[in-house]
Amino acid sequence: MTRAVLKYGVLATVGCLVIVDFVKQTIESFDPHPDIIDTQGLYEEIVDVALGREILLSHPNTVRRLRNVLPSPNLIVREKLRAWMVHHKTLKDRARDIAMDRIGNYKHTFDLPNDKHKALDKIYARAQKELS
């Protein structure tokens, strides 16, 4: 019985060492984004959250750190009501502006043959005439 316990104890120790080694290698290979480990403004952030002035998830420093780590569109802008009242842009307005900018700056890499281009011009002219 003692041999079996010793045998299983050694096996368990070896298993633990393998797990610890794996975790160590994983942690050492992790290369966090610099904004995650940046401590600039951390004290002020802790004070703001501790005193109830801000919530951690909505704190400007948290947003600044995570904005560069997590992909997110520039549609969501955190601003005060007074700043928003100046422009009244909604999420839909921002999305439209981004789409129009992309459409306006798009450079196509193909050309239609002349006969297809003329056919499309005729379709467009007919639609414009019918709709106006």
Q: Give the residues of the chain that fall short of pLDDT 50.
A: 1-12
- Give me the helices (H) in the chain, please: 2-29, 34-37, 42-50, 60-67, 81-87, 91-105, 114-131
End-to-end CA separation in angstroms for the chain: 96
d(CA 6, CA 12): 10
| pTM (two decimals) | 0.32
* Residue in the block written with tokens 């002020």: 44
Task: Give the pLDDT confidence of 89-125 residue by residue, as tens digits.
Answer: 888 888 888 888 888 888 878 788 899 889 999 999 9
User: Which amino acid makes up residue 62?
Assistant: T
Q: Which phi and psi (to 5°) does residue 33 adopt?
A: -65, 140
% of the chain at pLDDT higher than 70: 66
Q: In the chain, where are the structural domains located? A: 1-30, 32-72, 89-132
